[in-house]
Amino acid sequence: MAVSFYPDRRSHAFGPYLLDVGQRRLLRNGETVPLRPKLFDTLQVLVENHDRLLSKEELMVMVWPDTAVDESNLAHNLSVLRKILGQNEKIKYIATLPGRGYRFIVPVEAALDGSIAVRPFSNMSPDPDQDFFCDGVAEELIDALASVNGLRVVGRTSSFDHRLRDRSSSDVGHKLGVSAILEGSVRKAGERLRISAHLIRTSDGTQLWSEHYDRELGDVFEIQEDIAQAIVDRLRWKLLGPHTGPVVKRPTESQEVYQLYLEARYHLGTQKGDRLKQAIALLDRALEMQPGFAQGHALLALCYGVLAVDGFLQVEEAAAKAEKAVNRALELNDTTAIAYRACGLLRAALQWDWRAAQRAYLRALQLDPGNPNARFSYGHYFLAPVGRLDEAEQELSAATHLDPLAPMLSRSLSFVYYLSRRYEEALAEARRTLAIDSTYPATRSLAAACYMAMDRPEEAVRERQIYLRNADRPDDADTIGSIFEKEGEPGVLRWTAARLLKPVAGQSAHYDSLAILYAWLGEPEAALRWLEEAIRVKRGVAMWAKVHPAFDELRSESRFQELIDGMGVTDPRVATPGAAG
Report DSSP letters for 143-189, one per residue.
HHHHTSTT-EE--HHHHT-GGGTTS-HHHHHHHHT-SEEEEEEEEEE
Instruction: Reply yes or no on domain 11-110 having CATH 1.10.10.10.
Output: yes
pLDDT above 60: residue 435 = yes
The DSSP secondary-structure symbol of 89 reads S
> In the predicted model, what is the mean pLDDT of residues 376-395?
97
What phi and psi, each to the nearest 5 degrees, are found at residue 55? -70, 160
Whether 197 has a pLDDT exceeding 70, the answer reads yes
For 526-540, b/e burial (b = at least 16 CB within 10 A) is bbbbbbbbbbeebbb
CATH of range 115-250; options 3.40.50.10610, 3.30.420.40, 3.40.50.1220, 3.40.50.300: 3.40.50.10610
Mean pLDDT of 464-481: 95
Give the span between the Cα atoms of 104 and 46, in whole angstroms.
6
pLDDT, average across residues 498-514: 79
Per-residue confidence (pLDDT) for residue 205, from 0 to 100: 87
pLDDT at 207 over 70: yes
Reduce the secondary structure of 413-428 to three states and give it as a string.
HHHHHHHCCCHHHHHH
Q: Given this model, what pLDDT does residue 1 score? A: 29
Check residue 474 and give its pLDDT: 95
Of 238 and 269, the structure prediction assigns the larger pLDDT to 269
Sequence letter at residue 101: G
pLDDT at position 459: 97
Domain ranges of the chain: 11-110, 115-250, 264-369
**Sequence-separated (6 or more) residues with CB below 8 Å from residue 407:** 157, 433, 436, 437, 440, 443
In the structure, what pLDDT confidence band is assigned to residue 4 with cuts at 50, 70 and 90? very low
Give residue 504's pLDDT. Answer: 61
User: What mean pLDDT is predicted for residues 442-466?
Assistant: 97
pTM of the model: 0.81
| pLDDT number for residue 445 | 96
Does residue 304 or residue 164 have the better pLDDT? 304
Q: What is the pLDDT of residue 247?
A: 65
CATH of 264-369 given 3.40.50.1100, 1.10.10.1200, 1.10.3720.10, 1.25.40.10 = 1.25.40.10
- The edge-to-edge listing of strands for the beta sheet with 31-33 is 31-33, 25-28, 17-20, 11-14, 109-110
Residues 342 and 301 sit within 8 Å (Cβ to Cβ): yes
pLDDT at 145: 87
Asked if pLDDT for residue 463 goes beyond 60, the answer is yes
3-state SS, 300-333, equals HHHHHHHHHHCCCCCHHHHHHHHHHHHHHHHHHC
The whole-number pLDDT of residue 245 equals 58
The SS3 assignment for 101 reads strand
Residue-level pLDDT at 310: 87
Q: Average pLDDT of the chain?
A: 90
- Which of 18-27, 76-85, 101-110, 118-127 comes out lowest in average pLDDT? 18-27
Q: For 171, how many CA atoms within 13 A lie in the half-sphere containing its CB?
A: 8
Q: Which of 150-159, 299-308, 332-341, 411-420 has the lowest mean pLDDT?
A: 150-159
Contact residues for 239 (Cβ-Cβ < 8 A; gap 6+): 13, 16, 17, 18, 27, 29, 30, 111
Q: What are the contacts of 417-426 at 24+ separation with CB within 8 A?
A: 417/393, 418/446, 418/449, 418/450, 418/453, 418/549, 419/384, 419/389, 419/544, 419/547, 419/548, 419/549, 420/389, 420/393, 421/453, 421/549, 423/450, 423/453, 423/454, 424/454, 426/450
Q: Which residue has the higher pLDDT, 272 or 381?
A: 381
Three-state DSSP state, 281 = helix
| Residue 382 near residue 362 (C-beta atoms within 8 A) | no
In the predicted structure, residue 553 carries a pLDDT above the cut 90: yes
pLDDT the model gives residue 246: 61
As a whole number, mean pLDDT of residues 475-492 equals 96
Question: Is residue 236 predicted with pLDDT exceeding 80?
Answer: no
Chain mean position to CA 411 = 11
pLDDT at 265: 92
pLDDT tens for 33-86 read: 999 999 999 999 999 999 899 999 999 999 998 888 888 999 999 999 999 999
Name residues whose C-beta falls within 8 Å of residue 401's C-beta, 6 or more positions apart in sequence. 152
Q: 121, 185 in Cβ contact below 8 A?
A: yes
Rounded distance between C-alpha atoms, residue 139 and residue 249, angstroms: 12
